[in-house]
Amino acid sequence: MEQWEKKFAQFCLQKKYITIEELQHLIYLENESLKKGKQENFLFLLESQLHWTNEHIQKVYQEGLQQDKTMMGESITKVPSITQMAVVNQDKTIPTKASAANQDKTMSTKASINQDRTMPVGQDKTPYCANIIPVTKEVQEAKIGRYRIIKTLGEGGMGIVYLVYDSLLQREVALKVLIPSVAMMENANERFIREAQATAKLNHPNIIRIYDVGNEQDKSFFTMEFISGKSLKEIMEEKKIEKNILLKIFQKVVNALSYAHAQGIIHRDLKPGNILVDHENEPHVMDFGLAKIMGSAEGDILTAPGAVIGSPAYMSPEQAKSELDKISKPSDVYALGVILYEMLTGQRLVQGNKLFEMFFQIIKKDTPPLRGIAPEIPEELERICLKALQKEIHSRYPSAKEMAQDLDQFCQLRETQSKKENNQSNKISKIGLLRFQYYAEESPKDNWISFFEIPINQELISIGRNRGNDICIRVPENQTRSLHISGQHCKLMVTKDKKIQIIDLKSTNGTFLNGQPLEPNKAYTMTPDSVVDLGKKEVRFIVDTGEEKFVKTILQTEPSPQKISIITTIDGSSTIQQ
């Protein structure tokens, strides 16, 4: 961007003729055109992307000159017109004359004027950041003060985050620095420093910690703790973590926001991409770039009237309406509700990627009931989510504190219920135990030798060669014999009326009940002292039902809260893995 373009862009932003999102989008397109050897400058993009007419551009330009005659160093007549640009870029279809419909368009910054234009909005990883330099060998050797850059971790609407090495404290930390295209904007540095100050005020295990704030070579930066893991956005998209674990992660996020609200800080841009989850499933809320300190006028001064605050897909209705004076703690609550909705249903609450469509859904469209999408969602959890997603501010939770209280109570009741169910399942162990035997051809007395016993202490018991089973059977000294048992061979189920059923899981060599082969995937009821042969009838187990048998068990009758695998060997030894 030429210097005159930067000043013109600042003027347009100051006058609210364009939004900051639109400006970032145009900067991105201009940089992309330069990479391709084209000359799509800022004025050209105003007309081709935002549908400004030549008359509008001339009018705003003259208005800018009247305000500050030194604002631009070149006359607008020296700037290539849109017709000239069309000649330069013959490979791109560009309208050489604005349509009558476009001439009737106003200079309003409302998203409705761009409802026909698809913009890359609502993404957690903002794609339209200019001047992003890939980390090459040369960049890796670069330093910012005492910090040596190791690699790029990510980029957002305001800055780039690097993994750096702190030469003074000899540790790796994350360093965030403003991107050049944002640094030139008015109050950008003040807003950036405010992010560090807002986060530094918070001391919570689930909020990222700030270490240092500085300025090197006119570049503002701050360092924070480095979290090795994934964003909640990535985790939710992968759909590999169970929902009960996701709920525990979310519960900690809500409590972290409750703490922030108690300190008078509103996040204003909460979304899954701003929550890092480490390898212990501990969440860390970050990116307080749009945070506001309650009782401070600074946030209002740095935010222009009419500006849109937040990421579109997670905005509250008041944010979508640009009602800055109404953005408060319930705005964060709404964002939490959107995250919880997506977490429970697996679907986006706000669909599409056009601003006009997204804002309409946020402001006008009723929230679809969660249980209509996923009936297994508990009613109380649905109620909590829908209360957070109320359109009217006064109908939501006043802050994250009240939402956290309801969520904590729900999780506590659920845990209590789970313990009761576990106590009920403990009674299953009274049914009996499984006595496993192996066939020894050279035994002087009995060819069938018992080598371990296990109580029936859970409703479902999987048996096979793989370690993922509840009971894993292997013969270390005889690989061929081990392979006679399939990885997932069979499973036992205990019915509500305390009957034991066995199901063959399409094993290679079959499962035999009292000598009869079982049809795969069909449940067969077992009786006391039933004999089950596995594979080529070299390993079998017998169901014993007398309580006197329990004295020989190798496990406690109460089930472990963790899954237990038993790696058994023919010599009779067993290894319990938790």
| Cα→Cα distances 5→72, 75, 76, 97, 486, Å | 8, 11, 10, 23, 70
Tell me if residue 325 is catalytic.
Answer: no
Q: Please report, in angstroms and rounded to a whole number, the separation of the first and last CA atoms in the chain.
A: 60
- Return the SS3 of 460: strand
Burial of 423 (0-12, 13-18, 19+ CB in 10 A): exposed
What one-character-per-residue DSSP string does 173-235 give? EEEEEE-HHHHTSTTHHHHHHHHHHHHHT---TTBPPEEEEEEETTEEEEEE----EEEHHHH
| Cα→Cα distances 109→17, 18, 352, Å | 6, 5, 20
Please pick, among 269, 504, 533, 544, the residue that the annotation labels catalytic.
269
3-state SS track over 128-171? CCCCCCCCCHHHHCCEECCEEEEEEEEECCCEEEEEEEECCCCE
Given a contact cutoff of 8 angstroms between Cβ atoms, the answer to whether 80 and 88 are in contact is yes
Given a contact cutoff of 8 angstroms between Cβ atoms, the answer to whether 337 and 329 are in contact is no
- Return the SS3 of 353: coil
Burial of 164 (0-12, 13-18, 19+ CB in 10 A): buried
Specify the DSSP element, H or E, that contains 85. Answer: helix 82-88
What is the Cα 216 distance to its own chain's centre? 33
Specify the DSSP element, H or E, that contains 567. Answer: strand 565-568
Q: Which two tokens stand for residue 160?
A: 């780039």
Provide the 10 A C-beta neighbour count for residue 440. Answer: 15
Given a contact cutoff of 8 angstroms between Cβ atoms, the answer to whether 432 and 546 are in contact is yes
> Catalytic residue positions?
269
